[in-house]
Amino acid sequence: WTIKGVACVVWVGAAIWWYRGPFQESKGAYNLGNAFFAPIPMIAYILVRNISAEGRRWYSNLPHFLGKLTLESYLMQYHVWLSNNASQLLTIVPGYPLINMILATCLFVCTSHRLNYLTLSLRGQLLPDNSQKCLTGAAGFLGTLLFYRIIGGALQA
């Protein structure tokens, strides 16, 4: 506990310094140093949360749910939230930006969740847990690619 306590005190102190210093800067000044200072509050939070077994038992369902959708949300943000080559936001109800944000975010989370389900389903079909089935599927996939490559080459000739 002594080492954990000292580490927590140091990092919480650093987080307080970060909050009173770099976090209060103007947007431009903050952005210049953000890459260096951004880990401070995160590390402080992780240390304080994990200092005891009781703290590790509890978690929030929303970040847990959203954390499972990171790949899908990264892919879907351009297709749902942004339009016109990422220069405009999706407009569902013109003239009501808050309603647009709420509806677009609901659409974004729902499509990301569905895409996650499809990703896991395809992964189970294409890469089964059984090694023999996985190798057989990979060989079949490579054979199919080779077949189409040969056909494509023949059609171009």
Compute the mean pLDDT over every residue in the chain, rounded to the nearest whole number: 87
Per-residue pLDDT of 103-153, as tens digits, reads: 988 998 999 999 999 999 988 887 888 888 888 888 998 999 999 999 999
pTM score: 0.56
128-138 residues labelled b (16+ CB within 10 A) or e (exposed): eeeeeeeeeee
Residue 141, phi then psi, degrees to nearest 5: -65, -45
Does pLDDT of 99 surpass 80? Answer: yes
State both tokens at 142: 């490579």
Q: Which single residue is written with the structure tokens 């189409």?
A: 148
Q: Supply the pLDDT for residue 6.
A: 92
